[in-house]
Amino acid sequence: MDALPPEETIRSAVDRSVSRLRLQHEIAVQFATSVLRLHNADALLDEACKAVSAGLHSRFVKVLRYQPESQTFVLEAGVGWDPADIGTTELSADDASPAGHAFTSGQPVLSNHLGAEHRFRTPELLTRHGIKRAINVPIRGIPETFGVLEADSSDDEDFSETDIVFLEAIANVISMSRERLVAESQTDADELFSTSVLNASTDCIQVLSLEGGVEFMNDNGLAALSIDDFADIGGTHCLDLWPEEQRGKVLHALEAAARGEPTRFEGPCPTFTGDARWWDVSVSPIRDTDDHVKRVVLTMRDVTERHENEEKLAALVSSQEIQLGNSALMMKEVHHRVRNSLQLVQTLLALQANLAGDKSVTMQLQAAATRVRTVGSVHHRLYQDDGAEATDATSYLRGLTADLAELVADREVILEGESVVLPAARLAPLGLVTAELVTNALKYGRGKVRVKLERTSDAVLLAVEDEGDGFPNDFPKPQGTGLGMRLVTTYAGKGVGAVTVDRNVPYSRIVVRFAPG
């Protein structure tokens, strides 16, 4: 791994890669393990700030403790701040500040443009240090919320939803560790978990034995799964709560956690009353003071609405592709309608993003609007040939990659390959996959991006490569959580080898196999 640049220029594009997510998982697990050996609250908060700084490459991190008597925050611990500020500097805790809103709402707050915020005012402490963006997550307490964990940045690289998940994980460990410290000061009990903290979470949280038996489920989890009484499922094996076709995935995650490895997956699991729901699931080990895994914690977040929106968008693209199979005389009209529809969808998504009160919802809607805009570019290039039955795919991709290259001014996108003529119906899937892979290479990769198209005896091969360090060993995973890789795998050929990462080259290279006709 290359050495990081100076702190002022940290947060390069590679920070958002899969390796960053893996690093955050490792740091979260290491922090959760290390604090079991701490018996001092100040040391706990200091270690938390260091962990966040390492996981987000953030120079400024702080813990704000709420003071009910004055209804303000005090800067309890932190890194990057003046030592004189620690323990003395007070900040407003009202709803007009990002930290105050996170505290009062109980929800994370992400702002990548503090200077342009209309929702909140920027605290003077942040202005003094040139802070441009911040994430705030609540730290739950006993029995009330303790305060806020905040990461701040003075550079221009945005925080992401993945960063929120990491920050929440650290905040949850702080909450549980503080409660353990309180219990240690009062009794000799060595229980790691407290129902008051776990019940404060809005997610479904299950504490499992190493064998997979359900030992605890929080109140919100029981409600989310429509379970009337914990006695109905207490002692039940976790796999019995999942449909048969999902149990292999769950079992793999449980086995990994038992080995000390946190994992994450998505899948459908109906409630006890039969309501269909989709869940984003994190499975993590729980260690004792001797660093042995003693239990497993499974956290389920309801993502049904997001999953349904993804399916609707994919269905919209699919329905438009079916319409494009009509006669050449109708092709121009179809193109006109598709283009107008996509522009309308993009406009509505962007408008809804501006109106959404929840920052995470805003980010998801903005991402959806960007993807619809990409689909619009694909369609625009596709139907410039007035509905011809067959088209030179290489020429088509040359125009599309030129459009994509305009997204990043200092990056070059090069198309290589001889003429490959394909049926018009094959060009849209080819364009969508190319747009997705090139966009990812521009966003997460380095140097020139090369696109190669060639025909073999039994397939058409699309290769996209950049000058980065290559993909992680587990990429692409069998089950992804992003719509992008779902589109790639959906439009690629079927079977083993449809989407592969070339491990024989020292740079990033992914190859997609399409059916030839």
Mind listing the pLDDT tens digit for each residue in 406-438? 767 788 999 998 888 888 777 778 888 888 888
Helix (H) or strand (E) run with residue 436 in it:
helix 424-444
Is there a common fold for 7-186 and 201-302? yes
Tell me the angle at which helices 424-444 and 393-405 cross, rounded to the nearest 10 degrees: 30
pLDDT at 385: 57
Strands 133-139 and 390-392: unpaired
Average pLDDT over residues 158-162: 85
Q: Kindly state the helix (H) or strand (E) to which residue 414 belongs, with its residue range.
A: strand 413-416
CA distance 167 to 157: 17
| Mean pLDDT for the chain overall | 81
What CATH number does the domain located at 7-186 have? 3.30.450.40
pLDDT at position 116: 81
Residue 11 is predicted with a pLDDT of 40
How many CB atoms are located within 10 Å of the residue 351 CB? 12
Q: Transcribe 116-142 into DSSP letters.
A: G-SS-PPPHHHHHTT--EEEEEEE--S
Give the number of C-alpha atoms closer than 13 A to the C-alpha of residue 476, restricted to the C-beta side.
23
| Least confident among 59-68, 194-203, 278-287, 433-442 | 194-203
pLDDT at site 189? 34
Distance between CA atoms of 152 and 136, rounded to whole angstroms? 9
Strands 449-455 and 413-416 turn out to be: parallel
Do 197 and 175 form a contact (C-beta atoms < 8 A)?
Answer: yes
Distance between CA 59 and CA 400 in Å, rounded?
Answer: 39
At 188 the pLDDT is: 38
- In the prediction, which pLDDT does 423 show? 82
The confidence score (pLDDT) of residue 78 equals 95
Distance, in Å, from the CA atom of 135 to the CA atom of 149, rounded to the nearest integer, reads: 8
Average pLDDT over residues 366-391: 67
Q: Map out the domains of the chain as residue ranges.
A: 7-186, 201-302, 304-386, 389-517
DSSP H helices in 245-392: 247-258, 304-323, 328-355, 359-382
Residue 315: both structure tokens together: 């269905």
How would residue 253 be classed by pLDDT, with cut points 50, 70 and 90?
Answer: very high
**What number is the average pLDDT over the span 379-397?**
69
Q: Look-up: residue for tokens 């979470």?
A: 201
Mean pLDDT to the nearest integer, 151-160: 87
Which tokens go with 304? 């049904």
So what's the pLDDT on residue 7?
41
Give residue 238's pLDDT: 92
pLDDT digits over 450-479, tens only?
999 998 888 889 999 999 888 777 666 544
> Which residues, 6+ apart, have CB-to-CB distance to 509 below 8 Å?
463, 464, 465, 470, 501, 502
Question: To which residue do tokens 């270690």 refer?
Answer: 47
* Vertex 335 angle, CA 347 and 305, to 5°: 40
Residue 159 CB coordination number (10 Å): 23
Q: State if pTM tops 0.85.
A: no
* Closest by Cα among 137, 102, 143 to 119: 102
Is residue 186 very low, low, confident or very high in pLDDT (cuts 50, 70, 90)?
Answer: low
The architecture (CATH level 2) of 389-517 comes to 2-Layer Sandwich (3.30)
Give the residue from 421, 423, 433 showing the smallest Cα distance to 492.
433
- Of the pLDDT bands very low, low, confident and very high (cuts 50, 70, 90), residue 191 is very low
Given pLDDT bands bounded at 50, 70 and 90, which one contains residue 60?
very high
Range with lowest mean pLDDT among 2-11, 72-81, 285-294, 301-310? 2-11
Give per-residue pLDDT as tens, 4-38: 444 434 344 444 556 777 888 888 888 887 877 77
- Residue 183 pLDDT exceeds 70: no
Q: Which of 335, 281, 11 is nearest to 157 (CA)?
A: 11
Identify the CATH class of 201-302: alpha beta
User: Which tokens is 84 given?
Assistant: 């004189």
